[in-house]
Structure 1
Amino acid sequence: MSSSDTVRFRHNQAILAAAIIAFIGALPLAGARWYLLPVLLVPLAVGVWAWRAGTDVDARELRLRALVGQRRISWDRVVELAPDARGRAVARLDDGQAVLLPAVRGADLPRLVEATGQTLPDAAG
């Protein structure tokens, strides 16, 4: 795997479909009165979040993307990758901070590590 390869973890796209349906369903309500127009912003924001939010991984860094903005974490700052009690993936940093990895489940950790070009130790041996 070359260093330019990036693995993207995203939330289920059913969230985006639900946001589109909610937006269409809110159109009659928003069209009824001018002061109800901001109701359309809620499904629009959920749709943009579902499309954008997640974690991008390559050999250099983790990139955590949110609705607005992103955070880059270099691999040399990551001390540990582990699932939490709810099955979500968490990265523990060298300063003791635990960072939740958006859209990454604990079961995705082997694929995440593989994207770095590293290998996991064999559990059988």
Structure 2
Amino acid sequence: MSSSDTVHFRHNQAILAAAIIAFFGALPLAGARWYLLPVLLLPLAVALWAWRAGTDADARELRLRALLGQRRISWERVTELAADPRGRAVARLDDGRAVPLPAVRGSDLPRLLSVTGRSLPGAAG
């Protein structure tokens, strides 16, 4: 399966830019005393999260990516796609659980479904 068959959703890249600016802004503080060096870890973690976290979808599955791991959910387990009251996309699974889809808004649901080649009964859009 080629990468053109996969839809990627990521958070706004302004978060990554802000984390890089925060890292360089924290350098003088971290350089002042050795015990302040861990201050640099927070902007690095935010930058890594902004670069990595999101949702990937292809015809077989959803892949929910976080800072340190990922979760795969096959489309057969998804019974409904909808937007929550804040406009974020949520997938309801066959066991009744609702799983938020990182970086996917309710308005992105038609694009998310387009990669599957099918429609779900509860799909918003």
State the TM-score, normalizing by the size of structure 2.
Answer: 0.92
- Write the deviation string for residues 21-58 of structure 1: whole angstroms up to 9, x where unpaired: 00000000000000000000000000000000000000
* Aligned residues between the structures: 119
- 1:117, 1:6 → 2: CA distance? 12
Query: Structure 1 runs of 4+ off > 3 angstroms?
Result: none
Q: Which residue of 2 is the match for residue 112 of structure 1?
A: 112
For the residues of structure 2 that align with 1:71 and 1:119, how far apart are their CA atoms?
Answer: 22
Once the two structures are TM-superposed, the CA of residue 118 in structure 1 deviates from its matched residue by 2.4
Aligned to 1:63: 63
| 1:99 alignment partner in structure 2 | 99
Partner-residue secondary structure (3-state), 2:76: helix
For structure 2, list consecutive stretches of 5 or more residues without a partner in the other structure: none
State how far apart, in whole Å, the 2-side matches of 1:118 and 1:20 are.
40
Aligned to 1:52: 52
Identity %, equivalent residues: 83
Q: TM-score, normalised by structure 1?
A: 0.92
Is 2:49 aligned against 1:86?
Answer: no
- Is the contact made by 1:110 and 1:120 (CA closer than 8 Å) also made in structure 2? no
Aligned partner of residue 30 in structure 1, secondary structure: helix
Aligned counterparts of 2:106 and 2:70: Cα–Cα separation in 1: 21
Matches within 5 A, 1:1-40: 4=2, 5-40=5-40
Q: CA RMSD in A?
A: 1.3
Whole-angstrom distance in 2 between the partners of 1:113 and 1:21: 36
* Gap runs ≥5 in structure 1: none
Q: Deviations over 1:62-119 (max 9, x none)?
A: 0000000000000000000000000000000000000000000000000000011225
